Structure 1
Amino acid sequence: MTKRRIVWVVWPVAAVAALAACSEKPQTMGGSNSKQDAAAFQGTGMPYVATGWKPGDKTSWEQQLKTRAQMGQNDYNKVP
């Protein structure tokens, strides 16, 4: 391929790629399918929850997070 032919191929492809970025639709929170987030301790309504945690109880949620941080993420507790 000659240099001139490469230019004739590359420039139109680059122009199409640049203009494709201009076609994005706006992302808004309006509409019937949007919902507001609830607090994390409210739960998801799923039956599979950690033992000792009651959905809707903020203190049991905080205690569960403390236990998870100490037992699962603290390497000093894992070493015998």
Structure 2
Amino acid sequence: MKRSLFVIVLLAGLAACGEKPQALETNKHDSAAYTGTGKAFTQPDWKPGDKASWESHLKAREQYGQNDYTRMQ
């Protein structure tokens, strides 16, 4: 009984030592959001790479699409 318990504990300990490290990896080649995706499905008046246009679209969507006070009218 003691021997089988020892073997189980030993195997559990060895299994824990064999785990791979779980490090957080990020994409190093990430680009800014306003540069676009290269796909044709964009808003008609937005130009990929234009940061000011991107920010104005975000403000408009924030104000009119996600603001519950303006949606109630």
Q: TM-score if structure 1 supplies the norm length?
A: 0.63
- For the residue of structure 1 that corresponds to 2:29, the secondary structure is coil
Q: 1:64 to 1:26 in 2, by over 3 A?
A: closer
Equivalent of 1:20 in 18, 21, 44:
18
- Percent pairwise identity: 41
Paired residues for 1:1-80 under 5 Å: 4=2, 7-8=5-6, 10-21=8-19, 23-24=20-21, 36-80=29-73
Aligned length: 73
**Structure 2 unaligned regions, length at least 5:** none
User: Does 1 or 2 have the higher relative contact order (CA < 8 Å, sep 6+)?
Assistant: 2
Q: Which amino acid aligns with 2:35?
A: Q
**Structure 1 unaligned regions, length at least 5:** none
What is the CA distance between 1:12 and its match in structure 2?
3.9
The C-alpha deviation readout for 1:31-60, integer Å capped at 9, x for no partner, is xxx762222111110111123211011111
- For the residue of structure 2 that corresponds to 1:49, the secondary structure is coil
Q: Which runs of 4+ in 1 moved over 6 A?
A: 25-29
Superposed CA RMSD? 3.3
Q: TM-score if structure 2 supplies the norm length?
A: 0.68
